[in-house]
Every structure is written in C-alpha cells, then in structure tokens.
C-alpha cells in the first residue's frame, strides 16, 4: 500500500461491514440481519440468498474469485478451505455464483483436526456454519466468512462456538440483573474485549539459522548476550527504522480489514514490541486478534524479519503475553463496570463487582486452566508475567469501599486527587482511582478488568469463555435470590456484603512476585498450579462440568474431549522440542565444537614444534573445559533420547503429559546448560547458529 494513503479512505475497505450491508442489501433484509447481530437471535434463513449474492458481488469487485468458511479448530490457529465462485453454464462459459446455502453451511473434514475422541479417523464429516455477528472480509483473492465448526453429531470442535454460547449465557443473566434496577430498555449485554498483543521481531536470516525457532518457536539453547534488558532502555524507546516501517505497513493492512490497531511501542525486552487495538465486541475482537497474529508474521517476512509469538522465545528476558481487557456494556452503550465518581453508592456496579469477585474466586482453577500450555509455563511466574496463582487487584479506592461494606463502617473515601508536578507550564490533572499492578493476574483498571495471564500465541477465546460463563453463573444466583426478595434494597445490601466477605481472599493489591505472597496465598486457600499439567484435570471436575452444562456452553463430551486435546498438545509440544534438541546437539553443536577443538589442538602442536618455550596454556585450557561440557552434552543427549522414547510410548494422556513435564523438561534444561556452557568458549566463526546477541540486536 502507498505510504501516503489517508486512513479514512482505506479503513475497512476489505470488510463486508455494516456500512456496506446498508448500501447493498434491501432495507428489510438489512434490518433483519442487523437485528440478528444485535440481539443474538436466530438468523432468518429466507434472507441468506440475498445476503450471499450481495457478498459475492462486493467480493468480486474487491478482487475475490473464491470464498472460504474461516473457522477456529482446536489447534490454536485458524483454518480455511477455498472454493471458487465459478459455475459452468455450458458452451465453454461460466458464471459467478454463491448461494445462501453455501453461505450458511460448509463442510470440512472433522477427523483430521483435534477432537479429543469426539471423532474417529473414519468419521470424517464436519460442518462450518456462518457467524453473522462477525463481518466477512476479502483477503488474498478470497471472501473469508467467519464460521463455527462442529462435528456430524453436533459437538463443537472449535473455539468460536462455546464463545458464542457463553456470550449468550452472560447476556441473559446480566439483563435479569438490570431489570431489578429498573432498566427495561436493555435487550442485550455484550462483552467487550481489547487484546493487547506482545511479540518479538528478529532478522529473518538469523531466524533461519535457528532450527529451534523454526520448529518450536523458541530458542532451546542460547547463552545470555552481554546486554539484555538491564538498562531498561528499550521500553518505550525510539522505534528502529525497520521496525517502524514494519509497524506502519502492519497498521495499514489491519486498518483495511477493519481492525482498530491503536497503540504500538517497544516493550521491555530487546526486539520486543506491542500492538493494542481499541475495544470491540468479544466475538469480533477475538477474530481480529487471530488476524493480527497472522498479519504480524506475514508483514514481518515482507520486511526481511521474523515475528516470534511464542510466550518465551528467549531465556533471561521478558516473555510475551496477551492482556485480555474485559468489560460489560449494554446495547445502549453503558459500561456496567464503570464505578463512577461515588462507587460506594453505585449499587448496581457493586453487585456486578461482587459477581466478578465471586466468579474469579470460585473458578480460579478454570481461569488458570484457560491460559495453561507448555509455552506459557515458561513465562508465568517470571518477573514479566503474573504468577500462577490467580488473584484480583482492585486498587486502593475500591479496596476501601469493600472494606467498608465488609466491616459495616461508613465509607470515608476522599475525592480524586489533583496532580500538580510543580511546573507552571505543565497542566494539572486528576489522578486515576487505581494504580496499575503489573504483577496481578486479574486487575481492575477503572472500567474494565485486565486478565494478564494469557500467552501471546494463544487464541483468547478460552479465557473469555471461562470468564463469561463463571460471571453468568454468579449473576444467575444473584438474580434468583433478589427476584424473590420482599425488600429488594435490604436483600441487595445483604447479598453484596455476604459475597464480598466470603470471597475477599481473592483480592490482593500487593506484589504478586514475592515469596511472602505465595505463603499468604497458601494460607488463604488459593491454588498455585505451577505447571499446565497441574491445571488440565480441573476442566472435568464435577463443579466445572455443572457450570458449563447448566449454561449450555459446553456439554460433558465437549469438556472431556478438550481436556484430552490439551494433554495431547502439551505432550506433542514438548516431544517436538526434545527431538529438536537431540537433532541440534548431534548435528550442529557437537560437530562445531569438535572442529574448534581439533583446530585448537593443531595450533598447540604447531606452537610446540616452532619453539619449545612457547606456552600452549590457552589452547589446552579451552580444550579441557570444552571437553567437559561436550562429554556432558553427549551423555545427556543419549539420556534424553532414551527417556523421550519411553514417554512417547505412554498411552494415557495425563500420564504422558506428566512424564514430559516431570522427566523430559528437566533433562532438556540440563542439556541446555551443557550446550550453553560451550558457547562463550567457542570462537564465533565456529558457532553454528545465530546467538542471542545476533537475534535480539540484529534488526
């Protein structure tokens, strides 16, 4: 795209948006479709043909020759199968057609995607179904239609279907609560999401010299560079020209797809960056985040770079997360999590706050599980990410409000402070009600909650599914109690005080990185699920099965299948990493170091031959030290291979994942230490891969 294109001219130009629909659809069809999108109601099948024809004409005008049902199988990425609009009419001629039936339903192979036992290999049929609440768009010559994906027997095989169900469940219960406060206008409550995306950019030539990056997304080996993030000079620093050019190109691509890319900056670690979008409805925001990740990768390649989305591509520096900013809004635009200037008097806000506090406390296991993966295990608990203990930060003002409610004492909170920096030319401003706590997994930030635990590479549908369903359950219980109350005001006060008292243990405003907090969390009875495999079994605990089935979000089969998929994926990821390590040690590192030692020995021999009194201490000392590391690496690579073969033969999903977590990963760490010990001792021209210094400072 041209660098001087006006943003309003390109924004959403590749999206079959509300504006395009209003222009191209008959008024009655447009009204019917937008009513479905706004209320979450059932689509009128009779309008599908008209919509499909308008979509097709618009897509062809924008260069499309094909269409695809774009869906989110349980692989963590998207999938697509392209079909042309071409339809032969005889005489060597064709017309371009797209029917309502093709818009509404597609068919995909359901046995080749992860199903957790829901589909056998011979049971291949699956369906994709149009999601009208997420706009279609044109990309790479095809019309992309966001869809749900299910098996022949109707079980959800994707991330989108349970998400849509959870949004409906939350809306239904939130509207019940609003009716109690006299709101008879709101028909739907929506979840809004803003997913901040962190990532690394490295030079593509260096990336291609790292088999571990190509196969696993992270560096399995690598000694620290002389400089890391110690000086904190990269954070919010000036953008390098290549990075700035990449970001500008990425923005234009995303804007043309209707993605509200808003903020871009350098993150804490060298070569790390962040993009943040404007909030959108959860369904659209999650679809768009998947596009953001795709376009980050492809745009980086155009600029001679590689985009790394792994949660921990480099040891010793910050990893990458995806902060999931979550809020509730009515169809009239009111933010239900906005405390207002007098939060202690905002009873409706306090009730929703109590519901979220209770949900996070009672379903902390599911929230931890929703972000659990082999990749995120390397990040959580480090000094750049929240700990593996779920807690909530609500800030001093709300903490004081909660304290007054629990204790029964009057709230004596002061008004918002005015900040004066003591420089006449700098204007004064009002301080926010809450500070920011970067160590908190789940932080209230004024009018939303920021869930900071999700990993950079994951589809954030699951964290939102859990949060939506858990909050829906608490609102259901609240509504059941309050709808039958004789004295609503008294019942409301009693409920809020009771629930905040019972679940106050989940609130923590302090340093989540400290050892003291770990001990305190244990005393409070909070879970610390350090490894993903510790969290996976909680998905099918009976209380959680009851939660999801009661609200129609996932049935028992869907839950058990997802647990199996999580376990299987964990084992596969670590298996690939172990095999990659074995391959690199045997084919790259040991041969390179052996060659260097041979050359060192030859140099020492020449020295001795020339002059008897010339010392060879340098060569002999290097050979001795390198030999010790090389022999240790050789021993460990054999041991890792043996243990890996044992783990690969385990049939039970949990036992297999546990073996990889408890046996294979520690061995991998030992092997890494041996190889990393050789790196600083080996001459640069002999080292077979790009170093941390090359990668983090090569752009």
Residue 438 confidence class, pLDDT cut points 50, 70, 90? low
Q: Locate tokens 């006449």: which residue?
A: 424
Three-state SS letters, 62-124? CCCCEEEEEECECCCCCECCEEECEEEEECCEEEECCCHHHHHEEEEECCCCCCCCCCCCCCC
Cα–Cα distance, 335 to 349 (Å, whole number): 10
Strands 392-393 and 442-444: parallel
CA 642 → CA 33, 634, 637, 638, 672, distances in Å? 59, 13, 9, 6, 17
For the residues of 601-643, what is the DSSP string, one character each?
A: HHHHHHHHHH-TT---HHHHHHHHHHHHHHHHHHHHHHHHHHH
For residue 3, pLDDT over 80 is answered with no
Question: Residues with Cβ < 8 Å from 345, sequence gap 6 or more?
Answer: none
Question: Residues 214-238: what's their mean pLDDT?
Answer: 89
- State the Rg of the chain over Cα: 28
Q: Is the pLDDT of residue 648 over 50?
A: yes
Give CA–CA dist 132/154, Å, rounded: 19
The reported pLDDT for the residue numbered 434 is 57
pLDDT digits (tens, 9 = 90+) for 445-462: 889 999 999 999 999 999
Give the mean model confidence (pLDDT) for residues 357-379. 97
Q: Report the run of H or E that residue 194 belongs to, with start and end.
A: strand 189-203
CATH topology of domain 7-158: Ubiquitin-like (UB roll) (3.10.20)
**Cα-Cα-Cα-Cα dihedral of 18, 21, 27, 29, to 10°?**
-100
pLDDT of residue 512: 86
Contacts of 639-644 with CB under 8 Å at 24 or more apart are 639/667, 640/578, 640/581, 640/582, 640/664, 640/667, 640/668, 640/671, 641/582, 643/667, 644/575, 644/578, 644/579, 644/582
pLDDT of amino acid 90: 78
557 has pLDDT over 60: yes
| CA–CA distance, 501 with 506 (Å, rounded to integer) | 11
Q: Closest by alpha carbon to 502, among 529, 476, 474?
A: 474
Give me the percent of the chain exceeding a pLDDT of 70.
94
At residue 431, the pLDDT reads 52
Checking if the pLDDT of 423 tops 90, the result is no
Tell me the C-alpha distance between 653 and 536, whole Å.
Answer: 11
For the stretch 84-142, pLDDT in tens is 999 887 777 767 899 999 999 998 877 788 888 776 666 678 899 999 999 999 999 99
- Distance, in Å, from the CA atom of 453 to the CA atom of 477, rounded to the nearest integer, reads 27
- Is residue 647 pLDDT above 90, yes or no? yes
Tokens of residue 576, six digits? 């690939």
Sign of the Cα pseudo-torsion (204, 207, 208, 209, in order): positive
Of the listed ranges 258-262, 386-390, 414-418, 624-628, the one predicted with least confidence = 414-418
Cβ pair 601, 585 in contact under 8 A:
no
Residue 344's CB is within 10 A of a number of other CB atoms, namely 20
Closest CA to 208 of 276, 304, 289, 317: 304
Q: How many CB atoms lie within 10 A of CB 107?
A: 13
- Quickly count helices (H) and strands (E) in the chain: 25, 19
What Cα–Cα distance (Å) separates residue 18 from each residue in 54, 61, 134, 224, 515?
A: 13, 17, 10, 51, 51
pLDDT of 626 over the 90 cut? yes
Q: Which residues contact 108 (CB under 8 A, 6 or more apart)?
A: 69, 71, 79, 81, 126, 127, 128, 149
Is 569-696 a domain of CATH 3.40.50.1820? no
The CATH code that applies to domain 167-220+231-554 is 3.30.590.10
Q: Is the pLDDT of residue 2 over 50?
A: no
- Across all residues in the chain, what is the average pLDDT? 92
**pLDDT tens by residue, 19-69:** 999 999 999 999 999 998 888 788 888 899 999 999 999 999 999 999 999
> How large is the average pLDDT for residues 676-685?
97
Residue 452 near residue 386, CB atoms below 8 Å = yes
- Integer Cα distance of 87 and 72 in angstroms: 28
Comparing 406 with 574, which gets the higher pLDDT?
574
Instruction: Judge whether 442 and 393 are in contact, CB under 8 Å.
Output: yes
Q: How far apart are CA 217 and CA 583, in angstroms?
A: 16
Give the per-residue pLDDT at 311.
Answer: 96
Between CA 501 and CA 508, with CA 505 as vertex, the angle to 5 degrees is 120
Kindly report, residue by residue over 481-527, the tens digit of the pLDDT.
Answer: 999 899 999 999 999 999 999 999 999 988 888 889 999 999 999 99
Give residue for tokens 């204790």. 407
Q: What is the pLDDT of residues 153-205, one digit of tens each?
A: 889 999 999 999 999 999 999 999 999 999 999 999 999 999 999 999 999 99
Q: What is the mean pLDDT of residues 409-424?
A: 63
SS3 200: strand
Cα–Cα distance for residue pair 73/52, rounded to 1 Å: 24
Instruction: Report the candidate in 532, 562, 554, 556 with the shortest Cα–Cα distance to residue 369.
Output: 532
| Cα–Cα dist 644/641, whole Å | 5
Residue bearing tokens 């797209």: 98
Cα of first residue to Cα of last residue in the chain, in angstroms, is 23
Q: Which residue has the higher pLDDT, 490 or 419?
A: 490
Q: Sketch the domain layout of the chain as residue ranges.
A: 7-158, 167-220+231-554, 569-696
Residue 87 φ/ψ, nearest 5 degrees = -140, 110
Could you tell me where the DSSP H helices lie in 455-613? Answer: 461-483, 488-502, 515-524, 532-535, 542-550, 556-584, 590-610
- Residues 265-304 pLDDT 10s: 999 899 999 999 999 999 999 999 999 999 999 999 999 9
């Amino acid at each position: 795209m041209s660098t001087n294109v006006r943003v309003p001219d390109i924004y959403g130009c590749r999206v079959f948006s509300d504006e395009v629909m209003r222009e191209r659809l008959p008024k009655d069809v447009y009204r019917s479709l937008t009513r479905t999108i706004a209320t979450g109601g059932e689509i009128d099948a009779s309008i599908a043909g008209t919509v499909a024809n308008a979509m097709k004409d618009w897509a062809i005008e924008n260069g499309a020759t094909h269409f695809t049902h774009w869906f989110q199988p349980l692989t963590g990425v998207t999938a697509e199968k392209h079909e042309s609009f071409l339809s032969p009419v005889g005489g060597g001629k064709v017309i371009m057609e797209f029917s309502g039936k093709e818009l509404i339903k597609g068919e995909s192979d359901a046995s080749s995607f992860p199903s957790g036992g829901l589909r056998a290999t011979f049971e291949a049929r699956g369906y994709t179904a149009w999601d009208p609440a997420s706009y279609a768009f044109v990309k790479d010559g095809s019309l992309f239609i966001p869809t749900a994906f299910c098996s022949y027997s109707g079980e959800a095989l994707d991330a989108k279907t349970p998400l849509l169900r959870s949004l409906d469940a939350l809306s239904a219960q939130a509207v019940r609560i609003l009716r109690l406060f006299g709101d008879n206008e709101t028909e739907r409550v929506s979840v809004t999401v803003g997913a901040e995306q962190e990532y690394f950019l490295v030079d593509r030539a260096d990336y291609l010299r790292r088999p571990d990056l190509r196969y696993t997304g992270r560096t399995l080996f690598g000694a620290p560079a002389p400089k890391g993030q110690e000086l904190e000079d990269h954070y919010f620093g000036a953008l390098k020209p290549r990075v700035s050019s990449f970001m500008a190109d990425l923005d234009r691509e995303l804007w043309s797809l209707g993605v509200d890319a808003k903020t871009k900056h350098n993150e804490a670690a060298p070569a790390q960056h962040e993009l943040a979008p404007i909030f959108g409805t959860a369904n659209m925001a999650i679809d768009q985040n998947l596009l953001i990740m795709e376009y980050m990768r492809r745009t980086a390649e155009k600029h001679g770079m590689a985009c790394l989305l792994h949660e921990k591509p480099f040891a010793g520096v910050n990893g990458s997360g995806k902060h999931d900013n979550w809020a509730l809004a009515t169809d009239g635009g009111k933010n239900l999590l906005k405390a207002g200037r007098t939060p202690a008097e905002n009873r409706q806000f306090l009730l929703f706050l109590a519901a979220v506090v209770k949900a996070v406390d009672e379903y902390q296991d599911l929230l931890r599980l929703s972000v659990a993966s082999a990749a995120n295990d390397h990040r959580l608990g480090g000094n750049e990410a929240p700990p593996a203990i779920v807690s909530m930060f609500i800030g001093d003002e709300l903490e004081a409000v909660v304290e007054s409610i629990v204790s029964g004492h009057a709230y004596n909170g002061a008004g918002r402070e005015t900040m004066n920096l003591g420089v006449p030319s700098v204007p004064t401003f009002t301080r926010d009600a809450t500070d920011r706590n970067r160590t908190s997994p789940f932080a209230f930030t004024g009018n939303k909650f920021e869930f900071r635990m999700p990993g950079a590479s994951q589809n954030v549908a699951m964290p939102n599914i859990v949060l939506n369903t858990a909050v829906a359950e608490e609102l259901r219980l609240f509504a059941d109690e309050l709808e039958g109350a004789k004295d609503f005001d008294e019942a409301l006060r009693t409920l809020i005080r009771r629930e905040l008292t019972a679940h106050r243990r989940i609130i923590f405003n302090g340093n989540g990185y400290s050892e003291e907090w770990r001990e305190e969390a244990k005393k409070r009875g909070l879970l610390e699920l350090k490894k993903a495999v510790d969290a996976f079994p909680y998905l099918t605990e009976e209380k959680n099965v009851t939660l999801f089935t009661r609200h129609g979000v996932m049935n028992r089969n869907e839950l058990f299948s997802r647990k199996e998929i999580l376990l299987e994926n964990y084992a596969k990821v670590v298996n690939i990493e172990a095999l990659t390590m074995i391959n690199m040690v045997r084919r790259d590192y040991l041969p390179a170091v052996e060659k260097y030692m041979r050359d060192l020995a030859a140099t020492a021999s020449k020295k001795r031959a020339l002059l008897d009194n010339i010392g060879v201490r340098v060569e002999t000392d290097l050979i001795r030290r390198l030999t010790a590391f090389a022999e240790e690496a050789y021993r460990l690579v054999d041991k890792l291979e043996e243990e890996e073969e044992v783990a690969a033969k385990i049939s039970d999903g949990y036992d297999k994942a546990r073996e990889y977590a408890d046996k294979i990963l520690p061995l991998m760490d030992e092997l890494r230490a041996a190889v990393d010990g050789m790196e600083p001792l080996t001459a640069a021209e002999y080292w077979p891969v790009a170093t941390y210094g090359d990668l983090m400072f090569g752009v």
